[in-house]
Amino acid sequence: MLPTATIGPYTLPNSLIVAPMAGVTDRPFRLLCRRMGAGLAVSEMVIADSKLWHTRKSRTRMNHDGEPEPRSVQIAGGDPDMLANAARLNAESGAQIIDINMGCPAKKVCNKAAGSALMKDEALVRDILEAVVASVDIPVTLKMRTGWDRDHRNAPLIARMAEDAGIKALAVHGRTRADAYKGEAEYDTIAAVKEQVSIPVFANGDICSAEKAHQVLRHTGADGLLIGRGAQGRPWIFREIQHFLETGEHLAEPPVEEVEAILLEHLDALHDFYGMPMGVRIARKHVGWYLQSHDEDKLFRKRFNAIDDPLEQAESIQQYFASIRNGEVFAA
């Protein structure tokens, strides 16, 4: 059975959350995943330094027009005062949940003592948590990893610290900072975190099927799941997981006509949201994810990546799916 989850005053429609992913979980993707069954979608991380918010990247990341409540915004940085100010400003701009990033392993983030690098400095973590919670009157959540490296899995300690500071929910990725995305996620540490705190805990890492979602929930006892890479090119994974957890049965793969419609809708939303030329460029990686298990020789994607016109992109997708309906088998 799919557990319910509450974050502060918000009871989510379900406990399946779109994990924040830089360059992926923009507004078009968040809206699509919510429509496909996600209970919440967290924004791409916004840098804490508000002096940098004038850039186009920051403006698009902070655009939440038309999004259903609650709207969750992730902030990243290493200075307590700067993060507190970022939380305040985002709350004033319509954020209803603030999520602190201590999970990103990217070097360009960690080299600035942000993301998962923060887990190495537990005193700084405490200062950040207390400062951000005190700065806003909306729920603050925390996303982290299991630890700095495999010899220092301090997530249970930081989880207790977070609950004491007033954090309303935790998401834990089953890898350390040193692991980056290598190897397989481990869930024992997430289970240990769940045992240590009474606030909701969401498990994250390598959840790419309904069966895996069921296994992770059973193993960890988590209150819900944070799904990232498993949703890239498969936004319908949320309804698949929900159906399996509620019925024990697999939902049929979406028919080729629906996949085409979803992809065309996604392309149109990206073109509209970003304009030219960014919309066309960003569409390319999403098309690659949608087709990665079918267009194995990548011949179509190579042709698609050379297209610079929105209408031509849409027409090429329609032609591609027409060829599939004319005899090929689609395996999304």
Residues forming the active site: 104
Omega prior to 70 cis, within 30 of 0: yes
CA–CA gap between residue 139 and residue 159 (Å, rounded): 16
Half-sphere exposure of 316 (CA within 13 A, CB side): 20
CA–CA gap between residue 125 and residue 129 (Å, rounded): 6
In terms of Cα–Cα distance, which of 186, 167, 166 is closest to 176? 186
CA–CA gap between residue 197 and residue 3 (Å, rounded): 17
CA–CA gap between residue 157 and residue 172 (Å, rounded): 13
Answer yes or no: are the C-beta atoms of 34 and 5 closer than 8 Å: no
In terms of Cα–Cα distance, which of 36, 39, 42 is closest to 239? 36
Q: Residue 16's beta-bridge partner residues?
A: 225
Look up residue 42 and give its DSSP letter: B
